[in-house]
Chain A
Amino acid sequence: MAAVEMVGKRKYNNLWLDFAGVCILFFLALPTFIVIPMSFSGASYLEFPPESWSFRWYESYFGSSEWMRSTRTSLLVAFLTTIIATPLGSLAAYGLTFTSARVRNVSQLIVVVPILVPVILIAIGVFHLYAKLGLNYTITGIVIAHTSLAVPFVIITVLAGLKNYDFNQELAARSLGASRPRALLTITLPQVKFSIQTGALLAFITSLDEVVVSMFVSGGENATITRRMFNSLRDQVDPTIAAISSCLIIISVSALVTVLIFNRNQSKDQI
């Protein structure tokens, strides 16, 4: 977060750099700018820009018990994934900071493998494994699969946060009479809170947005919203999808904003 502040304070004198930055940001946000207006379309097919406006696709989304059920499934899965992946990834990152540089580098490489490997391979693998274990189409199955995808993001963000942390503080706390878990909870944790929150947010969004693995291992009663959206796209293309996407965007953005606001009040004491 120190880096963010530094960029904010730095004086830019390169207009081209500014321009390029704005262009890239615009390019990244472009799909959002298209999807949201489309969701308010009055037509019964996806069109941009919409010729008429209505809330009918939101009504169709919120009125459908099937869509609502898969939304609840997705939110539940994302919530459970966050709850499991965040402590798991944070503790892994904490542990990795105590290993030698070589072990750490190798572990970091292994940790990011799930990000590098094409998700479809993971999905196929998980599907076959789950077929044997009977975990396909279960909440447990999806949560485990999503957790394995989300943990690397938590580890990477928390490792980055711990890089700036002075571990002598934890030693000091322990010499002053705090047990190791207590030193971790009362001294280290408050100072890497932001990284952990960021990691949790990434875990949540990773799960909520995940399509490929969900296509294979979720279904029936426990189909995630992304899976149902994909299926519905195949059958009939109507702007309900756009309305749902807009809702997902809003959930993600508000989660991000919450973390940022939450942290703003605490960053003042950091050196």
Chain B
Amino acid sequence: MSNTDNENHKSLPIGIKSLSKSYGDVYALENVSLDIKAGEFITLLGPSGSGKTTLLMTIAGFCSPDQGSIYFGQQEMTMTPPHMRGLGMVFQNYALFPFMSVAENVGYPLRVRGMTDSDQKTKIEAALEMVQLGGYGERRIHQLSGGQKQRVALARAMVFEPKIILMDEPLSALDKKLREHMQIELKALHQKLEATIVYVTHDQREALTMSDRIAVINNGRLVQVDAPKALYDNPNDLFVADFIGESVLLQLENSIKGLTLRGKPLKMTNPQPKGGEPHCLVIRPELLVMSNSKDDSLNDLSGIVNASVYQGESVLVMVDLGENTMISVRLPANKSQSSNIIPDVGKPIYLGLHAEDVITVKGRVE
């Protein structure tokens, strides 16, 4: 539920203007500018050490930038200490206070704000209900499971109705099944709260599942900011193309006639890029089609089966295209498609890529 209006009573937009931060001669953030809309769920996605956590800590006020400024709504926050910023924050390892009960943990932000005990009680109970932990107030922290701890941390970060909530890889300590469940729950919670959420993760699937927009960060620079589908379908950068999805990048030749793939002109529905710059073809395993013979209406990516890995719902087949190029294709493992019998290792496999599915990115594969 993205609110496009500039400010409302439940959320605030965040303005990040040319932020830089370096440690020694290494840039953790290099001239990062980003406008986060009020009520938006935005994910900062990047590999470890990319600067995404530094950016989050700068928004939180724990890290002061060398240059640039941060606004919450109209108000500049660049030098405001963390406790004056009024934002909720959820940490990777929960950071619950182990010597306090669940209710005391959740009530902490209310206590420091000097709220009366009776008001606190109602708010705490409401917040615990919100994360489905009603009646858990008296429990001790060490009595809770990982998922429950995460919910307490969430309740604590939102009990005082902050307009901005920051989350630093909050689900990374949970097992896969619980993590996926919590992703859905967090998204639902976001719609109820209507607060602006800035979420940090290195897990691209998590980012694609939850976000209104994703900001991809690499080497301290903002590479691309887009909605999940746009990011997946139209990466504008080699790094994004490689980082999002299980991609393989294939170098295309750029001749006068246009882009060519393995000597043949590349069929694509999008207009061919102008100019003679090098381009890459982004091959996603799920986009390739297998056929029994060569299909000339498709871009041909046939090769020799190198290995196939059974993964339950699908089979991942590694295909050798020759010239030291290896791509992979994901084929459904259901029996109804048994006409597609996967060739044995060492046998040829006919693969094609529809013109509509062609994704190209400027650049050269190292």
CA distance A178 to B82 in the complex (A): 9
In the complex, are the beta carbons of A168 and B99 less than 8 A apart? Answer: no
| Cβ of A176 under 8 Å from chain B | yes
Contact check, B83 vs A179: say whether CB atoms are below 8 A apart. Answer: yes
Return chain B residues, CB-CB under 8 Å to A175.
Answer: 60-62, 82-83, 85, 87-89, 157, 166
Q: How many A-B residue pairs have CB under 8 A?
A: 80
Stretch at the interface among B108-116, B183-191, B209-217, B285-293: B108-116
Contacts of B96 in A (CB 8 A): 169, 172
- Residues in B whose Cβ lies below 8 Å from that of A5: none
Report the Cα distance A191→B156, complex, angstroms: 19
Given known contacts A176-B112, A178-B112, A169 and B82 CB-to-CB distance under 8 angstroms: no
Contact B95 A166 (CB under 8 A): yes
Q: How many Å lie between the Cα of A260 and that of B113 in the bound state?
A: 35
A190 to B97, CA, bound (A): 10
Residues 231-271 of A contacting B (Cβ, < 8 Å): 266, 269-271
Q: B136-161 toward A: CB 8 Å interface, digit per residue (1/0)?
A: 00001110000000000100110010
Cβ of A182 within 8 Å of any chain B Cβ, yes or no, is yes
Interface assignment of B86: CB less than 8 Å from any CB of chain A: yes
Contact-residue size bin, chain B (C-beta under 8 Å from the other chain): 20 to 34
Write the nearest CB–CB distance from B300 to chain A, whole angstroms: 53
Taken together as a complex, chains A and B put the C-alpha atoms of A175 and B97 apart, in Å, by 14
The interface residues of chain A lying within 8 Å CB-to-CB of B81 are 174, 179-180
Of B88, B91, B95, B98, the residue contacting A269 (CB under 8 A) is: B98
Contacts of A103 in B (CB 8 A): none
| B positions within 8 Å CB-CB of A | 60-62, 81-83, 85-89, 91-93, 95-99, 108-109, 112-113, 140-142, 153, 156-157, 160, 166
- A residues bordering B, Cβ < 8 Å? 166, 168-169, 171-180, 182-183, 187, 190-191, 266, 269-271
Q: List 28 A-B contacts (CB under 8 A).
A: A166-B93, A166-B95, A168-B91, A168-B95, A171-B82, A171-B95, A172-B97, A173-B97, A173-B108, A174-B62, A174-B81, A174-B83, A175-B82, A175-B85, A175-B87, A175-B88, A175-B89, A176-B108, A177-B109, A177-B112, A177-B113, A179-B83, A190-B99, A191-B99, A269-B99, A269-B140, A269-B141, A271-B98
